[in-house]
């Protein structure tokens, strides 16, 4: 039997444990090193960490909100939410 090693998507640690399920029934995981929770795979494009990084990079390069949402195939509300959270994080 082959075991699949799961790495934390935030810190790349392999010290990961199961942490319940989300409302859709998908398995949640928790990293014991950084303490953050995540899913192994996301069905919602806007929830993927790499998409959030692309939103920030595109906005820093002068792309507008509608342009970002069109290119990444996500809603404009998602783009705004990510940018607002980033602003709150940077202002503290």
35 exposure class (CB count in 10 Å sphere: 0-12, 13-18, 19+): exposed
Q: Please report, for the chain, the start and end positions of each structural domain, with discontinuous segments joined by +.
A: 1-41, 45-91
pLDDT tens, position by position, 47-90: 788 899 999 999 999 999 999 999 999 999 999 999 998 877 77
Measured CA to CA, the distance from residue 15 to residue 74 in angstroms comes to: 32
pTM (whole model) above 0.75 = no
What single-letter DSSP state applies at residue 49? H
């Amino acid at each position: 039997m082959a075991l699949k090693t799961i790495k934390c998507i935030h810190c790349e640690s392999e010290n990961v444990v199961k942490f319940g399920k989300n409302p859709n029934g998908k398995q949640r995981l928790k990293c014991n090193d950084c303490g953050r929770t995540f899913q192994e795979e996301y069905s919602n494009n806007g929830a993927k960490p790499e998409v959030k990084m692309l939103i920030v990079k595109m906005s820093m390069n002068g792309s507008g909100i509608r342009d970002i949402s069109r290119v990444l195939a996500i809603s404009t509300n998602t783009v705004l939410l990510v940018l607002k959270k980033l602003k709150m994080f940077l202002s503290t």
